[in-house]
């Protein structure tokens, strides 16, 4: 493929991106239309690939291998699902992409079908390049609802004995190499008390009230982290945070509620262990709350369940994978990033690839500020910069030879 201009990508790349955006792959729905289109696109070129499905068979990951080589390969990773458009004030059809004033509009244009489409557009070049390592394409489902699909993809690779050396996750970073984001641990706490008529309140155990005490304690830990935790000023919020996002309990004003459910999260710095935070919350419940509850109702209980586990991503500016991505990126972005690490506030699949032993970096076209909102868009110049990135990769840009598998933590 000929190199794009600095401001406009090739017609072929734009056509592929438009086709991907046109698939309404909202996380609650199937992504098979997009996956099967991609499967057929690659199969026509003789590319070996694997699909891994969810339990119901309505969603799938795709893992393809472009070329061969004596060294472990490089993964280009993207998620196929997008967030809903319900209730948003769009001025155009979110799944009928439109080009206006140097921008491409449509749900997923920024997050992150432009990266996937650009990588697919360079398939023939990767196949013809004769690289000494394969290029792998990894497309996942349900990233937006907890990075669910990629876990099955990684498990399948492990079972097949496949261990790529590195991974570029193409989330929208403005084509800057990003080396870190916080982790997310989400928990559900179910509190069981004892029902009673509100006129006989002392005979019951009010699950909502004990939930309130637990929530206050969670807030106290959050305040302590804000005041005392070591800072990481690469992040907008330079410390770990706790948030109680959902509380449900009770059936009527004149009934002492037996049950209450609390859902809370910890967004933690890579240096913080979320298990220690949960252990402290659980210890408080067992030490302070349960004895009081069981003095009235021996059957009372407090149970914690983890419902989200998105590990932190933590690399550095000097890592070979970071420097390799900087060498591939737009020269201006690479110059700005030289010698320093960039961090983002949002979570990605990068920590899971890193946990699987791959040297990982975030680098992709567009900006997160343009994603998840009405009239989502990406600048055509960003897609062009991503094409230049892929072009350097197809030309065998130096640096990947220094990247080796990362030992799993």
Q: What is the CA radius of gyration of the chain?
A: 24
Catalytic residue among 142, 143, 265, 314: 143
143 is catalytic: yes
d(CA 396, CA 393): 5
- Are 128 and 393 spatial neighbours (Cβ–Cβ below 8 Å)? no
Q: Helix, strand or coil for residue 381? A: helix
Helix 32-43 to helix 114-121 angle (10° resolution) is: 10
Both tokens assigned to 129: 């390049």
d(CA 32, CA 379): 27
The residue ranges of DSSP E strands in 252-364, in sequence order, are 255-256, 259-268, 301-310, 313-314, 342-344, 359-362
Torsion-angle region of residue 366: left (phi > 0), alpha (psi -120 to 50) or beta?
left
Q: Helix, strand or coil for residue 304? A: strand
Q: Helix, strand or coil for residue 185? A: strand
d(CA 244, CA 186): 10
Residue 230, number of CB atoms within 10 A of its CB: 10
Q: Which residues of 250-280 are buried (b: 16+ CB within 10 A; e: fewer)?
A: beeeeebbbbbebbbbbbbbbebebeebbee
d(CA 352, CA 312): 8
Cis? peptide before 112, omega within 30° of 0: yes
Burial label for 408, CB within 10 Å (0-12, 13-18, 19+), is exposed
List, in sequence order, every residue forming a beta bridge with 394; answer none if it has no partner.
none
d(CA 73, CA 183): 26
Catalytic residue among 81, 111, 314, 375: 81
Q: Which residues, in sequence order, are CB contacts of 210 under 8 Å at separation 6+? A: 191, 193, 260, 289, 292, 293, 302
| Active-site residue set | 81, 143
């Amino acid at each position: 493929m000929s190199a794009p201009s600095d401001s406009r990508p090739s017609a072929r790349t734009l056509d592929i991106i438009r086709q991907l955006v046109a698939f309404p792959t909202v996380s609650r729905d199937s992504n098979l239309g997009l996956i099967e289109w991609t499967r057929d696109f690659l199969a026509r070129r003789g590319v070996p690939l694997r699909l891994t499905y969810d339990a119901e068979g309505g969603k799938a990951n795709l893992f393809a291998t472009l070329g061969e080589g004596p060294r472990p390969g490089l993964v280009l990773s993207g998620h196929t699902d997008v967030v809903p458009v319900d209730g948003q004030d769009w001025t155009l059809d979110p799944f009928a992409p439109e080009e206006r004033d140097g921008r491409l509009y449509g749900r997923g244009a920024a997050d992150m079908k432009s990266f996937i489409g650009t990588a697919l557009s360079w398939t023939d070049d990767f196949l013809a390049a004769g690289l000494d390592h394969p290029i792998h394409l990894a497309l996942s489902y349900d990233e937006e609802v907890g990075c669910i699909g990629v876990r099955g993809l990684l498990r399948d690779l492990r079972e097949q004995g496949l261990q790529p050396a590195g991974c570029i996750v193409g989330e929208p970073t403005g084509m800057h190499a990003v080396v870190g984001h916080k982790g997310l641990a989400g928990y559900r706490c179910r509190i069981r008390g004892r029902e009673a008529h509100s006129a006989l309140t002392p005979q019951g155990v009010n699950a909502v009230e004990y939930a309130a005490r637990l929530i206050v304690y969670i807030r106290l830990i959050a305040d302590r982290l804000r005041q005392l935790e070591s800072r990481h000023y690469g992040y907008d919020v330079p410390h770990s945070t706790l948030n109680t996002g959902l509380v449900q309990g009770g059936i009527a004003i004149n009934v002492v509620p037996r049950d209450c459910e609390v859902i809370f999260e910890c967004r933690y710095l890579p240096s913080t262990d979320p298990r220690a935070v949960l252990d402290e919350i659980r210890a408080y419940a067992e030490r302070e709350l349960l004895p009081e509850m069981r003095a009235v109702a021996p059957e009372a209980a407090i149970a914690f369940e983890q419902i989200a586990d998105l590990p932190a991503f933590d690399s550095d500016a000097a890592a070979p994978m970071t420097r390799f991505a900087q060498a591939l990126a737009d020269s201006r972005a690479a110059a700005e990033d030289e010698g320093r690490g960039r961090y983002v506030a949002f979570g990605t699949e990068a920590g899971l690839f890193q946990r699987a032993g791959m040297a990982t970096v975030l680098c992709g076209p567009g900006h997160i500020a343009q994603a998840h909102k009405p009239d989502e868009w990406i600048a055509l110049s960003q897609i062009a910069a991503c094409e230049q990135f892929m072009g350097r990769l197809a030309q065998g840009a130096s640096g990947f030879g220094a990247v080796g598998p990362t030992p799993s933590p």
